[in-house]
Amino acid sequence: MKRQSISTRINIILAFISVVILVFSLTVIYLSSQISNATERVADYDLPEALNTLAMLEELGDMNSNLLEYLLGEEEEQQEYFSNFDEFIRFRELIPTNIKEQNTIEQVVRLVEGHKSKAISQVFEVYSPEKERKAANEINNLIINVGKPLEILLDEMKDEEIADVGSANDPQDVIDDDLPGVRFYLELVDEAGDMLADLDRFVLDDTNAKKSFFNNALQFETYLAQLKPLEQKPQEIIRINEIERLFGELKSGGANIFEEYRTHNKISATKAIDDLEHQTFTQAEKVLDTLSDNARREVKKSMAILSNISKNISIVLIISTLLIIGLVISMIINTRRTIFIPLAQVTNAIEKLRRGERNFELTTYNRNDELTDILSNLEQFQIELSELDGLRDNQQKIQEELLVERDNATQSYQQLQETQGKLIATEKMASLGTLVAGVAHEVNTPLGVSVTMASTLSSNIMHFLTDVKTGVLSRSKLETFESESIQSLALLESSLQHAAQLIHSFKQVAVDQTSSKRREFNLLDTLNEITQTLHHKIKRTNIHYEIEGPKDIYLDSFPGPLGQVITNLFNNSMLHGFDGKEEGAIKIRFNLLGDEVRLLFSDNGVGVKEDSLKKIFDPFFTTKLGKGGSGLGLNIVHSIITNLMGGDIHVESRIGTTFEIKLPLVAPHQRESNHE
- Rank 180-184, 566-570, 579-583, 627-631 by mean pLDDT and report only the highest: 566-570
Residues 302-313 have pLDDT tens digits of 778 778 877 877
Q: How many domains does the chain have?
A: 4
Same domain, 122 and 154: no
Contacts of 641 (CB under 8 A, 6+ apart): 565, 647, 648, 649, 661, 663
Helix axes 47-71, 77-93, angle to 10 degrees: 170
The pLDDT of residue 553 = 95
The pLDDT of residue 592 = 94
Q: Name which of 239-253, 351-365, 565-579, 595-609 the model is least confident about.
A: 351-365
Residue 563, burial from CB neighbour count under 10 angstroms (0-12, 13-18, 19+): buried
Torsion angle, alpha carbons of 391, 396, 402, 407, to 10: 180
Alpha-carbon distance of 201 to 23, in angstroms, equals 88
Same domain, 522 and 552: yes
Same domain, 110 and 56: yes
Same domain, 626 and 490: no
Angle at CA 383, nearest 5°, toward 380 and 387?
A: 135
Q: Name which of 240-254, 382-396, 465-479 the model is least confident about.
A: 382-396
Which of 285, 318, 351 is where one domain is finished? Answer: 318
Of the chain, the percentage scoring pLDDT greater than 70 comes to 77
pLDDT of 288 higher than 60: yes
Same domain, 556 and 670: yes
Which of 318, 336, 354 is where one domain is finished? Answer: 318
The pLDDT of residue 664 = 95
Decide if 509 is inside a domain. Answer: no
Decide if 120 is inside a domain. Answer: yes
Angle at CA 258, nearest 5°, toward 252 and 259?
A: 85
The three-state (H, E, C) secondary structure of 364-414, written as one string = CCCCCCHHHHHHHHHHHHHHHHHHHHCCHHHHHHHHHHHHHHHHHHHHHHH
Which of 292, 318, 344 is where one domain is finished? Answer: 318
Alpha-carbon distance of 587 to 580, in angstroms, equals 19
Decide if 353 is inside a domain. Answer: no
Is the model more confident about 662 or about 175? 662
- Print the domain residue range for 484: 422-499
pLDDT of 674 higher than 70: no
Decide if 512 is inside a domain. Answer: no
Same domain, 240 and 278: no
Same domain, 533 and 483: no
Contact at 8 Å (CB) between 245 and 146? no
The pLDDT of residue 666 = 93
CATH number of the domain residue 25 falls in: 1.20.120
Same domain, 123 and 136: no
Same domain, 558 and 490: no
Alpha-carbon distance of 237 to 449, in angstroms, equals 161
Contact at 8 Å (CB) between 17 and 327? yes
Closest by Cα among 153, 143, 144 to 254: 143
Contact at 8 Å (CB) between 105 and 92? yes
Q: Residue 659 — pLDDT band, cuts 50, 70, 90?
A: very high
Decide if 341 is inside a domain. Answer: no
Angle at CA 546, nearest 5°, toward 543 and 548?
A: 160
* pLDDT, mean over the chain: 77
Decide if 472 is inside a domain. Answer: yes
Is the model more confident about 603 or about 148? 603
Residues 398-454 have pLDDT tens digits of 777 777 777 776 776 676 556 655 655 555 555 556 555 555 655 666 777 677 777
Same domain, 667 and 530: yes
CATH number of the domain residue 572 falls in: 3.30.565.10
Residue length of the chain: 676
Same domain, 192 and 123: no
Type and span of the H or E element at 649: strand 648-652
The pLDDT of residue 369 = 67
Residues 338-370 have pLDDT tens digits of 777 777 777 877 877 777 776 777 676 666 666
Residue 127, burial from CB neighbour count under 10 angstroms (0-12, 13-18, 19+): buried
- Greatest alpha-carbon span in the chain: 205
Decide if 584 is inside a domain. Answer: yes
Beta pairing class for 519-522 and 554-557: antiparallel
Is the model more confident about 170 or about 479? 479
Type and span of the H or E element at 239: helix 234-260
Q: Residue 548 — pLDDT band, cuts 50, 70, 90?
A: very high
- Rank 201-205, 298-302, 487-491, 554-558 by mean pLDDT and report only the highest: 554-558
CB atoms within 10 A of CB 357: 12
Closest by Cα among 670, 576, 664, 620 to 427: 620
The pLDDT of residue 672 = 44
Of the chain, the percentage scoring pLDDT greater than 90 comes to 10
Decide if 221 is inside a domain. Answer: yes
Same domain, 438 and 493: yes
Angle at CA 508, nearest 5°, toward 659 and 657?
A: 10
Is the model more confident about 413 or about 587? 587
Residues 182-221 have pLDDT tens digits of 787 788 888 888 888 888 777 666 778 888 888 988 888 8
pLDDT average, residue stretch 532-541: 79
